[in-house]
Amino acid sequence: MKIPVTTLLLIMMAFHESSSGIPIKKRNCDEICPENFVDFLGHCYQYFGKETTWSEAEENCKHYEGHLASVPSAEVNNFIISLIKKSNGNTLAATWLGGYNTVKDGTFMWTDGSKFGFQHWNENQPDNYGGYEHCVHIIGGNTGVWNDLSCSTKLAYVCAI
Ligand SMILES: [Ca+2]
């Protein structure tokens, strides 16, 4: 039996369609954020009120295929402040961000690998108080300025995808 080429092509296309019907996960501005994450400037953010150490917080963010939030601009810092307040009874809780520094030379970095450019430190910070403050958080009850703190301190945190 001779099957016309066009029929064969249609069958192949149909098979291809059904075998690749699983949508590929994309992360761009058009994508809807996962449940409980809020979209802002192309990233998805969630506040977690359960206080954990900085590294535990980063690990939890990785479960969502994200990282602790990096802050590239005042705009994003302001958004994170409003997200914390909205999620926490209008109170700005002390909250881990993805900033950390290398113990060796003190250079700050973000866990998502983005450039540590914009900085919003509180006055006289970072001070590496006692020589063991290597993680960055937003100071609670304040204006959203940052402090370096011991990474083993347990704080709320914000993940970004
Ligand atoms: Ca400090």
Contact criterion met (CB below 8 Å) for 48 and 158: yes
Contact criterion met (CB below 8 Å) for 145 and 78: no
In angstroms, what is the span from residue 92 Cα to ligand 1's centroid?
Answer: 18
The pLDDT score that the predictor gives to residue 22 is: 41
In angstroms, what is the span from residue 32 Cα to ligand 1's centroid?
Answer: 37
In angstroms, what is the span from residue 106 Cα to ligand 1's centroid?
Answer: 13
Q: What average pLDDT does the structure give for the chain?
A: 86
In angstroms, what is the span from residue 113 Cα to ligand 1's centroid?
Answer: 22
Bridge partners, 149 (sequence order): 135
In angstroms, what is the span from residue 148 Cα to ligand 1's centroid?
Answer: 4
How confident is the model over 120-152, as pLDDT tens digits?
Answer: 999 999 999 999 999 999 999 979 999 999 999
Non-local CB neighbours of 160 within 8 Å, separated by 6+ positions: 43, 44, 45, 61, 66, 67, 68, 69, 70, 98, 112
Non-local CB neighbours of 105 within 8 Å, separated by 6+ positions: none
Cα angle vertex 51, ends 48, 54, to 5°? Answer: 90
How confident is the model over 66-116, as pLDDT tens digits?
Answer: 999 999 999 999 999 999 999 999 999 999 999 999 877 779 999 999 999
In angstroms, what is the span from residue 70 Cα to ligand 1's centroid?
Answer: 18
Please tell me the pTM assigned to this model.
Answer: 0.80
The pLDDT score that the predictor gives to residue 102 is: 83
How confident is the model over 32-59, as pLDDT tens digits?
Answer: 899 999 999 999 999 999 999 999 999 9
In angstroms, what is the span from residue 107 Cα to ligand 1's centroid?
Answer: 15
Count helices and strands in the chain by DSSP H and E runs: 3, 8
The pLDDT score that the predictor gives to residue 35 is: 92
